[in-house]
């Protein structure tokens, strides 16, 4: 009971933010205009964007598999990637990130949970850095450069600092392990389980010590973002034929930062609010902007729903079953987790 109460307390702030943003959006849009925009949209362009959503997922699997040094099969990485995004769309606490590490550790055989987690941290850190760069590159064209907020710089700086720190740890892992063992000497249980986890964690960070591998990762990551940018531009053109690339650049930057705000699962409310806000910097038609945001949400659900759904069916899993396994994972001995 106490655990359920604690989970509710953790979910509640995000739910409240989502509810407030949904209420704000609904207060100023005209539903007839939104419906009309959905009916008259260019579905040829939306169809191309839908195809690109699967191309995006295929490339994203290559991104992650590169960080994993190509050890798992591409098929396992692809379906696990889809499963992770599907979990994020419907489960709280962004469990999809933990979930895909957990699921892949059971499929790959040679990789442990603790080895996989650093690759996800690196992937997400670079995602945030790229989104900050995209957002900041468009911002001066939207508002006065002097009035540009520092949030993007701060977030990008924090993520860059995190990558540098992980790079230093990867090159000095023995020093870090020795320091941990020294500080935890009075706590044998912590030393045993924590030391085992850190050894696997640092092994996963080893990708940062391979310059060629990291360059390959950056190439696929940039290509992945370019595909997403093209898809968003096509969806904007489907509703705003006079839309420009800047709309998509600023919109996808806003959507990325909107996804970082605490919210209900899947960024419900925060994603729509970010997209509508981004588009209304260029057009006064909030109702049509909402129609575009709703199509973009379907775009985000499409590839994870199909690829992740197929993956779950192949493995005989359900969302509720994985959620319970992930909750149980938190209560298990860390030593057992690192050996998975």
- Tens-digit pLDDT profile for residues 304-319: 999 999 999 988 888 7
238 pLDDT above the threshold of 90? yes
Question: Looking at the 3D structure of the chain, how many domains does it have?
Answer: 1
pLDDT band at 330 (very low <50, low <70, confident <90, very high): low
- Whether residue 162 is contained in a domain is answered as yes
Q: Is residue 20 situated within a structural domain?
A: no
| DSSP one-letter code for 331 | T
Residue 66 has pLDDT above 50, yes or no: yes
Please give the Cα distance from 206 to 224 (Å, whole number). Answer: 23
322 in helix, strand or coil?
A: helix
Instruction: State which residues form the domain around 181.
Output: 42-338
Any domain includes 9 = no
**251 within domain boundaries:** yes
The more confidently predicted of residues 234 and 182 is 234
205 and 115 Cβ atoms separated by less than 8 Å: no
- Residues 171-194: what's their mean pLDDT? 73
- pLDDT top residue among 117 and 66: 66
Q: First CA to last CA across the chain, in angstroms?
A: 29
Cβ atoms of 274 and 250 closer than 8 Å? no
Q: Which two tokens stand for residue 179?
A: 């320091």
Distances (CA, A) of 180 to 80, 84, 113: 32, 31, 20
86 assigned to some structural domain: yes
At 174 the pLDDT is 76
Per-residue pLDDT averaged across 152-169, rounded?
A: 69
pLDDT band at 51 (very low <50, low <70, confident <90, very high): very high
- Per-residue model confidence (pLDDT) at position 333: 46
What digits encode the pLDDT tens for the residues 256-290?
Answer: 777 667 666 667 778 888 888 889 889 889 999 99
Q: Band of the pLDDT at 197, cuts 50, 70, 90?
A: low
Instruction: Kindly tell me if the per-residue pLDDT of 170 is higher than 50.
Output: yes
In a domain, 29, yes or no: no
Q: What is the mean pLDDT of residues 28-50?
A: 93
Mean per-residue pLDDT for 92-117?
Answer: 82
pLDDT at 158: 66
Give 176's contacts (C-beta < 8 A, 6+ positions apart): 169, 198, 202
Place 129 in a pLDDT band, splitting at 50, 70 and 90: confident
Most confident of 56-65, 116-125, 171-180: 56-65
Q: Would you say how long the chain is, in residues?
A: 340
Nearest to 152 by CA among 247, 224, 258: 258
- The distance of Cα 83 from the centroid of its chain, to the nearest Å, equals 12
Of 115, 111, 134, residue with least CA distance to 224:
134
């Amino acid at each position: 009971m106490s655990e359920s109460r604690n989970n509710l307390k953790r979910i509640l702030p995000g739910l409240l933010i989502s509810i407030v943003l949904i209420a704000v959006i609904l207060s100023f849009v005209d539903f007839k205009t939104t419906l009309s925009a959905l009916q008259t949209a260019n579905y040829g362009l939306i169809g191309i964007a839908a195809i690109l959503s699967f191309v995006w997922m295929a490339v994203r699997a290559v991104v992650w598999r590169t960080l994993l040094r190509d050890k798992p099969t591409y098929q396992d990485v692809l379906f696990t990637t889809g499963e992770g995004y599907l979990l994020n769309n419907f489960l709280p606490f962004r469990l999809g990130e933990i979930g895909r590490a957990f699921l892949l550790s059971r499929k790959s055989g040679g990789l442990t949970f603790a080895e996989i987690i650093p690759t996800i941290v690196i992937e997400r850190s670079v995602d945030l850095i790229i989104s900050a760069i995209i957002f900041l590159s468009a911002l001066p064209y939207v508002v006065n450069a002097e009035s540009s907020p520092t949030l993007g710089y701060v977030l990008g700086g924090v993520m860059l600092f995190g990558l540098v720190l992980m790079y230093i740890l990867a090159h000095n892992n023995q020093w870090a392990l020795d320091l941990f063992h020294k500080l935890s000497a009075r706590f044998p249980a912590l030393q045993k389980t924590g030391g085992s986890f850190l050894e696997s964690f640092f092994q996963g960070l080893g990708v940062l010590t391979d310059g060629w591998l990291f360059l390959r990762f950056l190439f696929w990551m940039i290509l992945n973002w370019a595909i997403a940018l093209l898809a968003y531009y096509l969806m904007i053109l489907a509703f705003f034929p006079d839309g420009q690339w800047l709309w998509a650049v600023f919109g996808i930057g806003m959507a990325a930062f909107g996804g970082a705000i605490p919210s209900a699962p899947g960024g419900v409310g925060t994603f729509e609010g970010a997209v509508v806000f981004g588009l209304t910097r260029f057009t006064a038609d909030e109702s049509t902007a909402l129609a575009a945001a709703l199509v973009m949400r379907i775009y985000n659900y499409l590839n994870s729903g199909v690829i992740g759904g197929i993956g779950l069916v192949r493995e005989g899993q359900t969302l509720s079953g994985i959620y319970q396994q992930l909750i149980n994972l938190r209560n298990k001995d860390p030593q057992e987790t690192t050996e998975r």
